[in-house]
Amino acid sequence: MYTNSSLGLPTSFNFNNWECSTNDSKNEMRSLLQNNEKVLNAGSGNGFIGNVVQVFGLDGKLVLPEQLWTVKGCVIEVVAFISQETLKIGGVKKNNFYADVSYMSILHPAPPRTASPAQARGFMVMPSCVLKRKLVS
């Protein structure tokens, strides 16, 4: 069973090092970490381990988790393995499909941001007119 540490990835890929800004994200992260620990401690190899998907940039180098925002808008290739399993539930055969995303590669950078139609016409908002909002986490 592959984990981020067994693959020799930098420590920034370890979920224990991630900071979550909302209670929902903290709860989901805690749940993921508990599931990972349960599966690893079972030692049977059954179950799924949550790992950070590896993303490779145009230069072929690994994109660190704290830099993943740079992938927004890029054309990427997703490499995944799909498996199928037939289960008999209540006498009825059901097909189940599972996808395991291995990694992603950036094929083309994101296009440059274009100006809004108002900005293209030269309309500028005075800084004194912009409402400032406080982000609540």
88 beta partners: 93
Closest of 37, 40, 38, 33 to residue 1, by C-alpha: 40
Tens-level pLDDT at each residue, the chain (137 residues): 555 566 677 777 777 777 778 889 888 888 888 887 887 777 655 666 777 788 999 999 988 888 888 888 899 999 999 999 898 888 889 888 888 888 999 999 988 877 677 777 777 666 555 555 555 54
| 15 CB-near residues (< 8 Å, 6+ apart) | 29, 32, 33, 36, 50, 52
pTM, rounded to two decimals? 0.59
